[in-house]
Amino acid sequence: MSSEPAGRSPLLVLGKITDILDAFTLQAPVLSLGEIQQATGLPTSTVQRLVSNMVAAGMLDRVGDRVRIGVRMAYWAGAAARGADLLELAVPVLRELRDTTGETATLFRTERGLRVCVAMAETRHALRREMHVGKIAPLHTGSAGRVLLAWDDALAGRVLAGPLETITDHTVTDPGALRALLAGTRRDGFAITTAERDDGGSGLAAPVFDQAGAVAAALTVSGPTIRLTRERCEQHVDLLVGAAEQLTRTLGGRRPF
């Protein structure tokens, strides 16, 4: 006889199913049973049983001897994301980033050939970079601009074809050099910049994607370079990329193919 209290078992099963679904990421969309077991810590027999049931229900699809999130889930995600507002969904993510890193967390989108801050959670430090909702900046400067251009070839082409204004001594104004940096950003999945938009400021950014696989926004952490050094930026990369991925998934988005 089970020692589980009445009513607990279904909730426990749902928790295990959630753990399995959470094992899939944009970087690892297809997993073997062994990889799922390692990611979740569930017993192998439990993983085998639940995965089999999830495949039968359309929650997972088989790809050879591996599995991925089921196509049926896209239908549910579409219904969930239909009324979802990016800014509303971003608020708790921004606050968590701010509280964990201690620095200002922002969300940037493109608007008429510029980038604009559309949401933020400001640092509690007295020493901070100037930032406010509605602040605009050129797309060829800073980590957010780097990310917004790296996954938008048409926009990048227009920006690279135009004059690249010098704002600081570290602003990248050579089209060839910027094109190479954009390729590196797309390869790495994030960008780190220092003093490109203002002297003494650093930032790192990662992309948020929509349902079509297009870049919807750049999620950033920024602060004074004296505190947010290159080393500190690198320490925050996994946290930031994970938060951007979380926001992408909440929107029902996906990485471009």
109-165 pLDDT per residue, tens: 999 899 999 999 999 999 998 899 999 999 999 999 999 999 999 999 999 998 999
Distances (CA, A) of 33 to 53, 71, 77, 136: 13, 19, 24, 47
Q: Let me know: does 191 contact 148? Beta carbons within 8 Å.
A: no
Concatenating the DSSP letter of every residue in 64-107 gives: TTEEEE-HHHHHHHHHHHHT--HHHHHHHHHHHHHHHHSSEEEE
φ, ψ for residue 23, nearest 5 deg: -70, -25
The domain defined by 8-69 folds into: Arc Repressor Mutant, subunit A (1.10.10)
* pLDDT at residue 81 tops 60: no
User: Which residues touch 157 (CB under 8 Å, ≥6 apart)?
Assistant: none
Angle at 81 between CA 67 and CA 9, to 5 degrees: 55
* pLDDT at residue 250 tops 90: no
The CATH number assigned to the domain with range 82-250 reads 3.30.450.40
38 or 28, greater pLDDT: 38
User: Which residues touch 186 (CB under 8 Å, ≥6 apart)?
Assistant: 150, 151
The model's pLDDT over 188-209, given as tens digits with 9 standing for 90+, comes to 999 999 999 989 999 999 999 9
Distances (CA, A) of 243 to 35, 102, 221: 22, 15, 11
Concatenating the DSSP letter of every residue in 95-107 gives: HHHHHHHSSEEEE
Query: What's the pLDDT score for residue 5?
Result: 45
Q: pTM above the 0.95 mark?
A: no
Return the structure tokens found at 96: 């968590």
Range with lowest mean pLDDT among 60-69, 74-83, 100-109, 170-179: 74-83
Range with lowest mean pLDDT among 22-26, 77-81, 163-167: 77-81
Q: Where are the domains of the chain?
A: 8-69, 82-250
Return the structure tokens found at 237: 């990369």
Best CA proximity match to 205, nearest among 133, 74, 130, 115: 115
Query: What's the pLDDT score for residue 255?
Result: 85
In 3-state terms, the chain is what percent helix, strand and coil (to 5)? 45, 20, 35
Q: Let me know: does 234 contact 202? Beta carbons within 8 Å.
A: no
Query: What's the pLDDT score for residue 84?
Result: 55
Using CA atoms, how far apart are residues 219 and 28, in angstroms rounded to an integer? 21
If you average pLDDT over residues 50-67, what whole number do you get?
Answer: 93
b (16+ CB within 10 A) / e for 30-59: ebeeebbbebbebeeeebeebbeebeeeeb
